Chain A
């Protein structure tokens, strides 16, 4: 019983009609399928995975595996440098595509293609373009300079950069589109007023566009970082983790351990990412469930 100072606030409990009960039964019956899927294919696998990764020796083994350290660094580079470059370009392009021109409208229809087509054929297409012997890039280099082009994907730095490039190619349209929605929501009279006051484009961006898009931009960046952690295709299909396992990221490393039949290491490498992932996920969940 809650004791209130005003005293006489007794709230009558509503009578439990049979109507309410049927509604509740329906409610439970309709949510049950999802709960079953959730229990069978999320809760059980996660618990099973954690159980597999329970032995501390796994983490010692990971710590001693140079490929793991390299993959962790690669993942960080991918997230911190790759995503920020991508989001800055998206922010810039959202302004470009917000221009009212017929040809820009058409260009935006083409621009969305990388997002609309599956990534496997396009990533393999890029991979062939940079093939050292038969790829079109080295053919062109040979035609123009008479020299053989470099063995692109055999250099870990170049290969990782290209994997980031492929990732940007694929997901830039999506983020540009979202940031453009945010940009178009800004009231136009603000810009007109600024125009009258003789503001430069930088001042307009700094004092009108950025303040109203700040939250959206940061949310998008965080969300893109979480999702990019799971970007398996860009690295696996372009470099396969090579050369010499130097371009792995966490998501491809897990599959590599699985291939080598080191299941507990595979799970442990994912568990290692959790201290970074869970706070981000928790923050995003709070934001979106409001």
Chain B
């Protein structure tokens, strides 16, 4: 083993000089949240970088719903879960059908629909929030989980259709032709040829829609307001309403809320990076 040259040491030092600030910048807000979650109340507010007596007591309070702000924790967690799952499934169904129709069946006007969808994708979602809120009121869906589910499906579908259409354009036409030769019906082609080949993209899009719905705050707090109807992020936002909010409990709940998406992200990272970021910006 040879000793590193001075030049190599210099390069490594310079890389570290960039790497360490990146690490601190990334981790400080997350560490701060974690610190609150494991600190007893008196330590949390004393500005220590590590609590004198780390504890899981905060988690116990959250899981036993032993605080005014947390009395509906499980209901709200369940709401978040159901809504995210419903958005994932509905987006997949609607977007896969549309992408199959546009890309494989070449439905007349498919290109226009694709462009309209892309247009919706680029309009910032926050701009659509106020009219969407009124629309849901007109439809009589406010405070109903369906309002948030449908709103999130509306927001997730355009990108889903676009990514799925890109992926399905890459499948060779000969596949469909061969299946037609063998006497397959359109439905059989969809089920037996198309869906299995599209699996990686479907996983990516399903994950995308689920995470989008789980993380959504603005639409959730506009469309849902009863304590037993709201999702977790709205409940977290409601903590801020009081001046004496129990920060350590807020951060603990936030930590629990942040775990599932982080886990999903890392579990499907391969699909996410391949299926989403590569497709996100076509140069």
Residues of A within 8 A of B45 (CB): 134
**Bound complex: CA A125 to CA B218 (Å):** 18
Partner of A287, one of B133, B139, B282: B282
The closest CB in chain A to the CB of B119 belongs to A285
Interface residues on B, range: 35 or more
Q: B94 near A: Cβ within 8 Å?
A: yes
Say yes or no: is A258 at the interface (Cβ < 8 Å to chain B): yes
A211 lies within 8 A of chain B by Cβ: no
A118 vs B105: C-alpha distance in the bound complex, in angstroms? 38
**How far is A178 from B129 in the complex, measured between Cα atoms in Å?**
28
Judging by beta carbons under 8 Å apart, are A107 and B22 in contact?
Answer: yes
CB of A126 to closest CB in B, whole Å: 5
- How far apart are the CA atoms of A248 and B275 in the complex, in Å? 35
Asked if A113 and B30 sit within 8 Å, CB to CB, the answer is yes
Within 8 A of B (CB), among A231-276: 231-233, 236-237, 240, 250-251, 254-255, 258, 263, 266-267, 270, 273
Q: Are A45 and B128 in contact (CB under 8 A)?
A: yes
Residues of A within 8 Å of B25, CB to CB, are 169
Whether A49 and B29, one on each chain, are in contact in the complex, defined by CB atoms closer than 8 angstroms, is no
Interchain CB contact under 8 A, B19 and A177: no
Residue of B123, B128, B233, B278 touching A118 (CB-CB under 8 A): B233
Besides the contacts A45-B134, A104-B19, A231-B126, what 9 more A-B pairs have beta carbons closer than 8 Å? A34-B95, A45-B135, A116-B261, A117-B30, A121-B254, A232-B129, A251-B127, A277-B124, A288-B282
Sampled A-B contacts (30; CB under 8 Å): A27-B106, A28-B101, A30-B98, A30-B100, A31-B98, A31-B110, A31-B113, A34-B161, A38-B116, A38-B120, A52-B131, A52-B134, A96-B18, A113-B26, A116-B266, A119-B217, A121-B257, A124-B250, A126-B29, A129-B28, A169-B26, A174-B277, A178-B277, A220-B281, A223-B281, A229-B127, A230-B124, A231-B124, A254-B130, A266-B130
Q: Which residues of A contact B (CB under 8 A)?
A: 19, 22-24, 26-28, 30-31, 33-35, 37-38, 40-42, 44-46, 48-49, 52, 93, 96, 99, 101, 103-104, 107, 109-122, 124-126, 128-129, 134-136, 138-140, 142-143, 169, 173-174, 177-178, 181-182, 215-216, 219-220, 223, 226-227, 229-233, 236-237, 240, 250-251, 254-255, 258, 263, 266-267, 270, 273, 277, 280-281, 284-285, 287-289
